[in-house]
Structure 1
Amino acid sequence: MEQTRTAIGLMSGTSMDGIDVALVRTDGDTVVERGPAAGFAYDARFRDRLKQGLADAKTMTQRDQRPGALGALEHDLTVRHAEAVKIFLQQNALSPADIDVVGFHGQTVLHRPDEALTVQIGDGALLAREIGIDVVYDMRANDMKHGGQGAPLIPAYHAALARGASDTSRLIAPVVFVNIGGISNLTFIGDSEALVAYDSGPGNTLIDQWVEAHAGIPYDQGGMIASEGSVLPDLAARYLSHAFFTDKQRRSLDRNDFAPPEGSQASLADGARTLAHVTAAAILKSAGHLPQQPRTYVICGGGRLNPVIMRDLSTLAAEEGAGVLKAEDVGFNGDSMEAEAWAYLAVRSLRGLPLTYPGTTGVRQPVSGGKHAIKPQV
């Protein structure tokens, strides 16, 4: 029997709002024991630096390039992750010796799957030195080397969660896990547990960009702005008629693949309301490419905290005979799930187990991945 390892996962997603940290005890396969989790928000100045990093990265043609201020940003991002780990350990009365490995996602600054180019800044070797724990990082690149899209990577963890769910009575198959982060992605788990996964469209990124540009706030907390507006059918249709939704081949998205509306196209509230509808409708539209019609949608990520998105999603799913549950409804943590996944994937990487599959990223055959940074020997 394979040993269970204690792993910490670190996630800084496309919303660029902060670092999620989660602890998991796992064998990287069937055993998943979820532990504590925490979030560490970025300050406004650092979020501005991350946005500039996205702009600097647009000129990249090779993964090891660091144009503009990306080199300094990568260093400072890594140091912030190290600080988050140290605080997390202290909060939970743990020491580095208690942790076998850290799974470090880094920050995606460029994702061009059609060019087999994906860049997550984050210095794994520096992180290992700073925290005194082995680190697995850069987990997307090997998938692309073998013909995959480099995303999504979380489906293997979704499948493990579904197998181990304490209350499976509400998970009527086929089940789809939906993560609504900056970009939304879904994982289909059919009766045979065969995995199909892909990005499903814009998640929170359009709403976040819209309210930040027109209200000066980073996101629409609790959907308060959207709740005051109305859906603009023509604007919604413009997004939902995008070729991404009709192309037979599923592909992963960069946050720049969909742009927010021009300021003249909507009022603040109507724009937020319309984009919330687009987020929900995009999930159902993309689900049409699945091998079977889902019966249960399990919603994770920040988007599940927006009641407007959730109402639209529930209404649209009900029209197709499906139900919508928050992750918490079946005993999961919708905030920390991606960080938990990175802990789980780090252990899989140590064991050489597949991180991605033909049905999840389009890779030619199941492949493992990740680089391993070893902590300094004392």
Structure 2
Amino acid sequence: MRQNKPIWAVGLMSGTSLDGVDAASLLTNGIDIMEFGASCYQAYSDQDREILRSGLGKWPGDLGLEAVAALVGDVHLKAAQQLPAADLVGFHGQTLAHDPENGRTHQLGDGAYLARLSGMPVVWDFRSEDVARGGQGAPLAPIYHWAMARYAKLSAPLAIVNLGGVGNLTWVDPQQPPETGVLAFDTGPANAPLNDYMSLTFGLAYDEHGALAASGRADSPIVARVLQDDYFLRAAPKSLDRDDFSYILALVADLNQADAAATLTAIIVACLAAALEHMPARPAQMWITGGGRKNRELMRLLQEALPMQVCDVDDMGFDGDMVEAQAFAYLAVRRARGLPTSFPSTTGVGLPLSGGRLSPA
């Protein structure tokens, strides 16, 4: 594979919000973005989400993973088959458990199986080697965020925040190489507690447009209690498991439904405000990606609370639904060409690392 020749890659991403699989095509040489291609979304059904939830917190070899593995393989294959054939596939898998402090992470999914059935080579298991070498294994999108800032021809520092199940932030100085111009970390809980609350209380996947939260009042002492968690005192880079803040649901259990949703939404905002302390310099803009950007109340509160322009990444010329899928297409090309996918300033790994396994078709 010629190092400088752009190739088409497909990225497949299923996040901790458990809503579905994003699939996106990207033309890249592993450094710069040349062109965005087709994309699609393969939604999980309510039954699928229950199967996925049954696997959360489980590790390889634990009982009860067969149905989860079959579902993950089937839905990702369907998503990949909806797009034109590519030179390479980046397959994230489904994160079930993440415990980097003890050298463990678990993204369920068999890339070799996907390669055989799709007829395309697959890069997968992106996080394990990073964790084995002392890194957090997350977040991995920061190097793609750096490429986005270059594609947008920016010169000033920028923050890109993905609001999925967990919030993660990348601070980018596009004038610098990634080794010195990127800092990344998980900001704290994002959609996961709110989505779980909506599912348990109403049988709904999420608070649509933040309507329920907008009708309630946040409980400030509960928000303050969450920010006392030791996680917020730790220096970046740092990362979280989806359920590290699962105790939040118990904190809002005695609130009325609107106030509970408002409090869970306010926690997301407070976590991002706290993240400002870890940035090397305050950016003029913060681009929001992921499902959280569609929550109008959340976006309103972010703009109100943060001392910079808060933008939906769609308004900046990108597809906010597909940024993470595109990121894994980009990471796959970098891995295939031996370029680093994680750095000391993004995951805490000791040296820049090109992570992931490559399975031929």
The residue that corresponds to 2:293 in the other structure is 304
Which of 69, 81, 95 matches 1:108? 95
The residue that corresponds to 2:70 in the other structure is 75
Q: Does residue 273 of structure 2 align to residue 288 of structure 1? A: no
Q: Secondary structure at the match of 1:272?
A: helix
**Which of 226, 240, 254 lines up with 1:265 in the alignment?**
254
Q: Distance in 2 between matches of 1:109 and 1:256?
A: 10
Aligned to 1:210: 197
Q: Is the 8 A contact 1:32 1:160 kept in 2?
A: no
Larger mean CA deviation between 228-237 and 147-156 belongs to 228-237
Which AA in structure 1 matches 2:300? R
Cα distance, 1:50 vs structure 2? 0.5
Distance 1:43 1:344 in 2: 28
1:84 to 2:79 alignment: yes
SS at match of 1:201: strand
Q: Which residue of 1 aligns with 2:121?
A: 134
Q: In the alignment, what sits opposite 1:334? A: 320
Mapped pair 1:178 → 2:161? yes
Q: Which amino acid aligns with 2:47?
A: R
Q: Give the root-mean-square deviation of aligned CA atoms.
A: 1.5
Unaligned 5+ runs, structure 1:
none
Shift of 1:197: 0.4
- 2:51 aligned partner: 49
* One of 206, 209, 220 as aligned partner of 2:207: 220
Q: How does 1:356-367 map to 2 (within 5 A)?
A: 356-367=342-353
| One-letter identity of the residue aligned with 1:41 | A
Instruction: Provide the secondary structure at the position in 1 that maps to 2:249.
Output: coil
In the other structure, the counterpart of 1:314 is 303
Match for residue 39 of structure 2 among 37, 40, 59: 37
What displacement does 1:191 show? 6.2
Normalised to the residue count of structure 2, the TM-score between the two structures is 0.94
Q: Where has structure 1 moved over 3 Å in runs of 4 or more?
A: none
Q: How many residues align?
A: 353
Q: Deviations over 1:189-214 (max 9, x none)?
A: 13643100011111100110111111
Match of 2:9 in 1: 7
TM-score of the pair, normalised by structure 1: 0.90
Task: Give the secondary-structure state (helix, strand or coil) at the position aligned to 2:345.
Answer: helix
Is this contact kept in 1: 2:40–2:79, CA < 8 A?
no
**Is 1:121 the equivalent of 2:108?**
yes
Query: What SS does structure 2 have at the residue aligned with 1:297?
Result: strand
Instruction: Give identity over the alignment, percent.
Output: 40
Please state whether the residue corresponding to 1:261 is helix, strand or coil.
helix
Q: Which runs of 5+ in 2 are unaligned?
A: none
